[in-house]
Amino acid sequence: MFIRLMLTLLLLVAGHAQGAEQSTVLVTGANRGIGLELAGQLKAAGYSVIGTARKPAGAKDLKALGVRVEQLDVTDAASVAALAQRLDGVAIDLLINNAGVGGQGVNSIRELDVDAMAATYAVNAMGPMRVTQALLPNLEAGSGRTIVNISSVMASIKNNWGGAYDYRASKAALNMLNSSLAKELGKQGYISVVLHPGWVKTRMGGESAPVEIEDSAAGLVKVIAGLKDADNGKFYDYQGKPIPW
Ligand SMILES: NC(=O)c1ccc[n+]([C@@H]2O[C@H](COP(=O)([O-])OP(=O)(O)OC[C@H]3O[C@@H](n4cnc5c(N)ncnc54)[C@H](OP(=O)(O)O)[C@@H]3O)[C@@H](O)[C@H]2O)c1
């Protein structure tokens, strides 16, 4: 609650709350974890929020926020197309491609299921492109023109400490896809970034993660609120620090 209040004040000071009040954000994978918290904090900051869930019926926490809840499986072309149809004519200012999976958790080439890598790519790399492509008319209709792809420090080739083959590769692919997106859409005034949320206490991050969900989301929202044209194509963490590719 305190963090949400501070964030609203921060956005007011930064001059973004005025825009936020008329702005619409869509967050994928918003039924739990970082996506749920982002949806809550962005609503508190004045955004009109659309939160997606694979199974909306079970998305009690998301519904409790009083936001618009929509079904979406980012790997399912029919689900993505149906979402785009339901949102026909709805302007979206900010798209947050947050849905992700941790992959196989395999640290050795000896254990890696190469064929199963495709499933991790389908969510983490292809998913954000599928959703962005389908919702481009909505983004065109909005004035924010901001695309945030939630990546990971584990995508960094420079900082790789090994392991997590498929997860790292899928997020590195996402980084490259974002780079191309930024080059293409940047010419039309879009800002597309990849952001690392920190190592966060979620189902994916686990109990020993040092960053609380609230702090991660508050940091991400602050970074998003401060995005400028020069940030297009960049890779930052939730505290706004650049991450080496
Ligand atoms: N937690 C960390 O430490 C950490 C660190 C770096 C990056 N990240 C990234 O941050 C993002 C959020 O992670 P989190 O920690 O909040 O994870 P989480 O608690 O496991 O939540 C993942 C979310 O993604 C959704 N999702 C999974 N597959 C999907 C699909 N095919 N279609 C639509 N939604 C799908 C899940 O929905 P269901 O409930 O239906 O499964 C859930 O809402 C991910 O992109 C993750 O890679 C997390």
Task: Indicate whether 231 pLDDT > 90.
Answer: yes
Judge whether 165 counts as a catalytic residue.
no
pLDDT at 5: 45
Task: Indicate whether 11 pLDDT > 50.
Answer: no
- The reply to whether 10 falls in a domain is yes
State the residue range of the domain holding 25: 2-237
- The reply to whether 243 falls in a domain is no
**pLDDT tens for residues 17-40?**
335 668 999 999 999 999 999 999
Catalytic choice (47, 121, 167, 236):
167
- The reply to whether 225 falls in a domain is yes
* Distance from the alpha carbon of residue 19 to the mean position of ligand 1, in angstroms: 28
- The reply to whether 244 falls in a domain is no
Helix runs in the chain, H state only: 2-13, 17-22, 33-44, 60-64, 77-86, 117-121, 127-134, 136-141, 165-186, 213-225
The CATH number that applies at residue 85 is: 3.40.50.720
| Ligand 1 atom closest to residue 30's alpha carbon, by position in its atom list | 43
Q: Is 209 close to ligand 1, i.e. is its CB under 6 Å away?
A: yes
- Residue of 27, 34, 195 with the most ligand 1 atoms within 8 Å of its CB, for mutation: 34
Tokens standing for residue 219:
């940091």
pTM assigned to the model:
0.94
Number of domains in the chain: 1
pLDDT at 19: 52
**pLDDT tens for residues 59-107?**
999 999 999 999 999 999 999 999 999 999 999 999 999 999 999 999 9
- The reply to whether 26 falls in a domain is yes
Q: Is 194 close to ligand 1, i.e. is its CB under 6 Å away?
A: no
- The reply to whether 242 falls in a domain is no
Task: Indicate whether 9 pLDDT > 60.
Answer: no
pLDDT at 79: 98
CA torsion 7-25-121-222 (nearest 10°) is: -20
- The reply to whether 245 falls in a domain is no
